[in-house]
Amino acid sequence: MQPTSLQRTENALAAIAAAGEEGRRIFTRVYAEAALAAARAADARAASGTPLGPLDGRVVSVKDLFDVAGEPTTAGSAVLRSAAPATQDAAIVQRLRAAGAVIVGKTNMTEFAFSGVGINPHFGTPGNALDATRIPGGSSAGAGVAVARGFSDISIGSDTGGSVRIPAALNGITGFKPTQQRVPRDGAFPLSFTLDAVGPLARSVLECAQADAVMAGQPWQPLPRRQLRGLRVGVPRGLLFTQTEDAVAQAFEQVLQALAQAGARVDDVALDDWLGAPARLQQNGSITAAEAAHIHADVLAHQPDAIDSAVLARLRPGQSIMAAHYVGLLRARQRLMAELDAQIADYDVLLLPTVPMQAPRIDALDHDADAYHRTNVLLLRNTTVFNFYDLPALSLPITQPAGVLPVGLMVVGQRSADRALLAIGHSLQTQLGPLR
């Protein structure tokens, strides 16, 4: 017999409490009483045969940049602990509650969501789910660890440059970044108006798809089964494959070999002109830095010393970006998006490693600004390209031997074809040995 929602919620709350200080680094808030009440209500609906859908009674956590009515939204920052309480739930929190999800708590994150590493000096750094001495990935740090450790079935994060997919890859779970406009961002503390997206982390693509449908305001429909035979796969070898650790490269090639054996058409495709363009164009200032500097102008003017030094080092350059450069970036982006769309039109998906490394140790980065910066740039390199191009992307865990750190596979689809990408990801995860 399957455990009830109440049993699963009680187990999750007990596990969070048993984790002690680590649990408090993973979650900034835990809603024990409200979660238990929501679980009881879900069980009552199940008993009466009136469930609200696939998320009814599922244990869900939300990143601490989504508003929950009656409390401040800290976005991982000590500066915002005394902010005015939110007057209402964020749009996605409202939709999750309406779908019967049991909101168990808010998860920790990199301050202001501005790093792929996951270190937070204000609320503590959650350790990686497989080795707590290693980074969790960011910025949705607690979200990835919560799912991987069984503290929530599904976590909701944000992804501006990889902040859902990076922690998914480093913790051995699944993460989904949708096309940006698919999920509303009302009530989500912003990092970049142009690039922010809202997506789920879970054990499987199916669970991500169910959460995505709820947040997108769409009725749930089962994902169609996609055959791997005949699947058109592009592998963009080149810039995004450099500096890749051997363990990551070997795991990736194992997936490609299995796909070819399953009858997929796997082609190397030359896309460096387009995949390298975001970094080239933003050498003198990025879209995210410009918009983040605007969002945090007051804090930068009056309380800069209260910001994590690693985050401050990324915010400061945004203050000096010229308007002409910023406008030029936005216009170039629109042109490049159309060009890349044409280049990948003949492929169902692109495949590449989510990140080129396995999780490094926290103590190797925590007090070494240069090492932190190098690692952050490399962690974000592959993922951020597809925020720039607004293409939906999954990170799937590649099966590793017991005790070996996780490796992620990024699966990139066509813009606005989110359901098609999720269907392909689900088929990969259920039909392909290295991804099971």
Which burial class, exposed, middle or buried, applies to 10 when counting CB atoms under 10 A from its CB (0-12, 13-18, 19+)? Answer: middle
Taking alpha carbons only, the member of 269, 190, 205 closest to residue 232 is: 269
Catalytic residues: 63, 139, 163
Three-state SS sequence of 130-150: CCCCECCCCCCHHHHHHHHCC
Report the Cα–Cα distance between both ends of the chain, in Å, rounded.
24
The pair of structure tokens assigned to 398 is 């590649």
Return the half-sphere exposure (C-beta side, CA atoms, 13 A cut-off) of residue 389.
Answer: 28
Report which of 105, 140, 138, 110 is spatially closest to residue 123, judged by C-alpha positions. 110
For 281, what's the count of Cα atoms within 13 Å in the CB-facing half-sphere? 24
Question: From the CB of residue 48, how many other CB atoms can be counted at a distance below 10 Å?
Answer: 8
- Helix/strand/coil percent split, the chain, to 5: 45, 15, 40
